[in-house]
Chains A and B, each alone.
Chain A
């Protein structure tokens, strides 16, 4: 298992190399002078053309493309991702600022949607064909078809503006630091994001549960005279768990990349929000780096999926 994980991590390196190469290529092809986003912009004004040339020399910009790529890569490995064009802040600093907010929102949403979606999926599967099943399934379908931004705005105008129960947006008030201080800000975006994910999890876990319950080993379990709860939970649900884990796992990277719409609607200072501003202001280095981060997230998530699948399914050996 441990060797498998190590091997997988090693395998990520070539993939990251390819992706980072493509991204670097993208950066090279974007309009503008490479030097301009390699030096802190607040120093930019004081630099003369000769100095620029010297910097170019010292940065190796006169070198070949491949050489420059490796120099850039070496910097990236050390945490130097370059500078954002618009804010002039270093990109690693932006990540440090924005990532915790996005992770907080995503983890909350994933937890809520997984627990709620699986529970509803299992209930509808067990009561298939009943009024509960039909109501929840139709509800889920409606949920899937309502756009996030509409749902977000509706929740915002009702709970925040109309009722005033929760803050309108943002994440932190000055002077408030702990998680509990932030919680009221988190509730609305996390719930809206979670609900939009719940419908999918519900549908999926309903199907997985029905599939598990139709297997022959469930009949064997019944033939042993086990009580219904044990048949459903230990034999049905336990087996339905694997595909649900895979589904949730596949959603991890999407959430780490930031749910753009929700972050925008709720003015949540996360990666997604940053991404929108970066695209809007044509801040290519930042856009590319967020893309690289998302790729990394996809790779890590698929590793997590594999590990979890191996944990819950003894047939899978790592």
Chain B
């Protein structure tokens, strides 16, 4: 885990990232001092309540931010085939950024119903990616497109390739999206809640497909999810976000077994865990997330926190409790479960 591996494994490294939204002269620090690394062949799961900045973090890496948003500080270093690149220094829509997007970093989104263009065939939309990132001739592109669809478990790919998205089911569309994302064999796949819009059985199939790809190609995966069950199943590492900050990060075992942040603990208590039977206690987190334009001072979670004390009026720094396990809480000693 973590530092045991060489630095060469790191595909993307985010350092002190701050991405702010500017709206009516007000500033929303949507992502506020976020750091993490993703290694090849590993899955980082980013979890947290709605609005905590998961998608904005992902969009920052892709430079696909809304117009109102700007990367204020920090660095995003991507280890491309050609060497290390500072993504945050690249022009948003310049050639270098476009070559990375879709080619070396691919992204799939939450709602496969909306993320494919309804007026083009699925094949056309996958081929588009190949056209801009490879030098294949159009015959070869078509063959590869069909092959990708087949690999994603879409039956009769040679027929499906010429169909429109509305002729696909939700699960098949998401497979087509993954086929599109994986077509150019990217080093990093960002999946922003890829299965939220799908039902549970299809969810499992989609994740299986992603795991297979990870194993075959050593793709690094950044998986954004609400679902702790998915985290337990798929993650190598976990980052828990709250109001724009990573409040706790580490390997799955560390974060799920020995949560150090009250928020992580509350999050884990708020979801049913498979296999614990019917009588388990499920406690929703009390209160709700604050208005991002009107944030509490100090620790953002303090108003909802059972452990909150005077110290919490100041934002704690990140503290490492092991090589890989970090937490942003004054009271993490108290929170830690008794060993």
Which residues on the B side are within 8 Å of A223 (C-beta)? Answer: 62, 64, 101-102, 106-107, 109
CB-nearest residue of chain B relative to A220? B115
Which residues on the B side are within 8 Å of A221 (C-beta)? Answer: 117, 128
Which residues on the B side are within 8 Å of A127 (C-beta)? Answer: none
Interface size class of A (residues with CB under 8 A): 20 to 34
User: B132, A239: Cβ atoms under 8 Å?
Assistant: no
A50 lies within 8 A of chain B by Cβ: no
A62 lies within 8 A of chain B by Cβ: no
Surface stretch bound by B, among A11-19, A168-176, A284-292, A308-316: A308-316
Surface stretch bound by A, among B29-37, B92-100, B200-208, B241-249: B92-100
A217, A222, A315: the one contacting B166 at CB < 8 Å is A315
Interface of A (DSSP majority class):
helix
CB-nearest residue of chain A relative to B131? A226
Query: How many angstroms from the CA of A315 to the CA of B64 in the assembled complex?
Result: 28
User: A224, B128: Cβ atoms under 8 Å?
Assistant: yes
Q: Quick one: CB contact mask for B92-135 with A, threshold 8 Å, 1 for yes? A: 01000111111100110101001111111000010011001100
Which residues on the B side are within 8 Å of A215 (C-beta)? Answer: 114
User: B114, A226: Cβ atoms under 8 Å?
Assistant: no
Which residues on the B side are within 8 Å of A238 (C-beta)? Answer: 117, 119
User: A220, B98: Cβ atoms under 8 Å?
Assistant: no
User: A313, B117: Cβ atoms under 8 Å?
Assistant: no
Query: How many angstroms from the CA of A315 to the CA of B101 in the assembled complex?
Result: 29
A31 lies within 8 A of chain B by Cβ: no
Which residues on the B side are within 8 Å of A226 (C-beta)? Answer: 98, 102, 128, 132
User: B116, A225: Cβ atoms under 8 Å?
Assistant: no
Which residues on the B side are within 8 Å of A234 (C-beta)? Answer: 120
A85 to chain B, nearest CB (A): 52
Query: How many angstroms from the CA of A68 to the CA of B107 in the assembled complex?
Result: 71
User: B119, A313: Cβ atoms under 8 Å?
Assistant: yes
A127 to chain B, nearest CB (A): 12
B185 to chain A, nearest CB (A): 14
| Given A219-B109, A228-B93, A315 and B132 contact (CB-CB distance below 8 Å) | no
CB-nearest residue of chain A relative to B99? A225
B180 lies within 8 A of chain A by Cβ: yes
B168 lies within 8 A of chain A by Cβ: no
A225, A313, A314: the one contacting B103 at CB < 8 Å is A225
Query: How many angstroms from the CA of A259 to the CA of B133 in the assembled complex?
Result: 52
B164 lies within 8 A of chain A by Cβ: yes
A227 lies within 8 A of chain B by Cβ: yes
User: A224, B102: Cβ atoms under 8 Å?
Assistant: yes
Q: Which of A197-246 contact B (CB under 8 A)?
A: 215-217, 219-228, 230, 234-235, 238-239
User: B180, A315: Cβ atoms under 8 Å?
Assistant: no
| Given A223-B64, A223-B102, A315-B166, A217 and B133 contact (CB-CB distance below 8 Å) | no
Size of B's binding interface in residues, CB under 8 A? 30
| Given A216-B109, A219-B109, A314-B164, A225 and B119 contact (CB-CB distance below 8 Å) | no
User: B117, A225: Cβ atoms under 8 Å?
Assistant: no
Query: How many angstroms from the CA of A234 to the CA of B117 in the assembled complex?
Result: 10
Which residues on the A side are within 8 Å of B64 (C-beta)? Answer: 219, 222-223
Query: How many angstroms from the CA of A292 to the CA of B98 in the assembled complex?
Result: 57
B339 to chain A, nearest CB (A): 44
A219, A225, A313: the one contacting B118 at CB < 8 Å is A313
B128 to chain A, nearest CB (A): 6
Which residues on the B side are within 8 Å of A217 (C-beta)? Answer: 114-118
| Given A217-B114, A314-B118, A227 and B106 contact (CB-CB distance below 8 Å) | no
Which residues on the A side are within 8 Å of B106 (C-beta)? Answer: 223
Query: How many angstroms from the CA of A226 to the CA of B177 in the assembled complex?
Result: 16
CB-nearest residue of chain B relative to A239? B119
CB-nearest residue of chain A relative to B103? A225
User: B102, A225: Cβ atoms under 8 Å?
Assistant: yes
B62, B100, B118, B133: the one contacting A315 at CB < 8 Å is B118
| Given A312-B119, A313-B118, A216 and B111 contact (CB-CB distance below 8 Å) | yes
Q: Which of B66-98 contact A (CB under 8 A)?
A: 93, 97-98
Query: How many angstroms from the CA of A216 to the CA of B114 in the assembled complex?
Result: 6
Query: How many angstroms from the CA of A220 to the CA of B119 in the assembled complex?
Result: 14
User: B117, A239: Cβ atoms under 8 Å?
Assistant: yes
| Given A225-B100, A228-B93, A314-B164, A235 and B118 contact (CB-CB distance below 8 Å) | no
Which residues on the A side are within 8 Å of B62 (C-beta)? Answer: 223
Query: How many angstroms from the CA of A192 to the CA of B1 in the assembled complex?
Result: 73
User: B101, A220: Cβ atoms under 8 Å?
Assistant: no
| Given A225-B100, A225-B102, A226-B128, A216 and B115 contact (CB-CB distance below 8 Å) | yes
| Given A216-B111, A220-B109, A314-B166, A227 and B98 contact (CB-CB distance below 8 Å) | yes
| Given A216-B109, A228-B93, A314-B166, A222 and B101 contact (CB-CB distance below 8 Å) | yes
| Residue in B98, B116, B117, B129 whose Cβ sees the most chain A Cβ within 10 Å | B117
Q: Quick one: CB contact mask for A42-65 with B, threshold 8 Å, 1 for yes? A: 000000000000000000000000
| Given A222-B64, A223-B64, A226-B128, A239 and B109 contact (CB-CB distance below 8 Å) | no
Query: How many angstroms from the CA of A228 to the CA of B62 in the assembled complex?
Result: 15
CB-nearest residue of chain A relative to B117? A217
Query: How many angstroms from the CA of A217 to the CA of B106 in the assembled complex?
Result: 14
Query: How many angstroms from the CA of A239 to the CA of B120 in the assembled complex?
Result: 10
Q: Which of A15-46 contact B (CB under 8 A)?
A: none
User: A220, B103: Cβ atoms under 8 Å?
Assistant: no
Please name 6 further chain A to chain B contacts, defined as beta carbons within 8 Å, in addition to the given A223-B101, A312-B119, sorted by A numbering: A221-B117, A222-B101, A223-B106, A224-B129, A225-B102, A239-B117
Can you list 10 A-B contacts with CB-CB less than 8 angstroms, sorted by A residue number? Answer: A217-B115, A224-B180, A225-B97, A225-B99, A225-B133, A226-B98, A227-B98, A238-B117, A239-B117, A239-B119
Residue numbers of B with Cβ under 8 A of A are 62, 64, 93, 97-103, 106-107, 109, 111, 114-120, 125, 128-129, 132-133, 164, 166, 177, 180
10 closest cross-chain pairs (CB), A and B: A225-B102, A225-B101, A224-B102, A217-B117, A225-B98, A216-B114, A223-B107, A314-B164, A224-B129, A220-B115
